[in-house]
Amino acid sequence: MASKPPLSFDDSLRSSPLPSPGPEYYEARRRLWLTPPVTPPERPPSAPSTSRQRLQDLFDQPGAIYSQEAWTHDLEKVWRGLSSGGRLKYNLPLPIIIKIIHAAWLRDRTWPVGMEAPDSDEEQQAQASATPETSVRRPNALQPVQYNSPATTPARSDVMEPAPPWATITRT
């Protein structure tokens, strides 16, 4: 059952009987303004979807961002939906979205292979003060990455809703 959003102040003014202009009118408007809107009770958060849990389990494995198998079976579908403007069927935590984007950028060479971003600004500042020159760290589990051609047809995903036709991106 869909609940109604809380009434705006203007809606409250229109639906409330107000006296004629004067001190009583001012007091009635003030009472309406100071009355908090009635909001529907919040539903408890639902359990994470199996798709979200599968993505979480995938990213818990070391080197998942670099894995071609993970890209082909799970991440590519979600990335194609995100990059074409599709809507998520379920909310995904931002760290998972960032990892999906990172994996896609590795494949289209937007992100340099082997470059790792620090987990926090403090870590980045500590590294900068320790070594004045910039160094690139390469992960040990780095496998050669096969890049897919951009003309492949996206597969259906159980994480993404289909993108509306006007939002589909055609690559040449």
Q: What is the pLDDT of residues 40-63, one digit of tens each?
A: 667 777 777 888 888 999 989 888
pTM of the model: 0.47
The residue type found at 139 is P
> Which of 20-29, 45-54, 79-88 has maximum average pLDDT?
20-29
- What average pLDDT does the segment 72-80 reach? 88
Q: What's the token pair of residue 94? A: 């931002």
Dist CA 38 CA 7 (whole Å): 8
- List, for residues 105-152, the tens digit of each pLDDT value: 998 888 887 787 766 677 667 766 765 554 444 444 444 545 444 444
Which pLDDT value is given to residue 22? 93
Q: 92: part of which helix (H) or strand (E)?
A: none
At a CB cut-off of 8 Å and minimum separation 6, what does 41 contact?
none
Residue 153: phi and psi, rounded to 5, are -80, 130
Q: Which sequence spans correspond to the domains of the chain?
A: 54-114
Tokens coding 155: 């597969």
Among residues 83, 85, 55, 87, the alpha carbon closest in space to that of 71 is found at 55
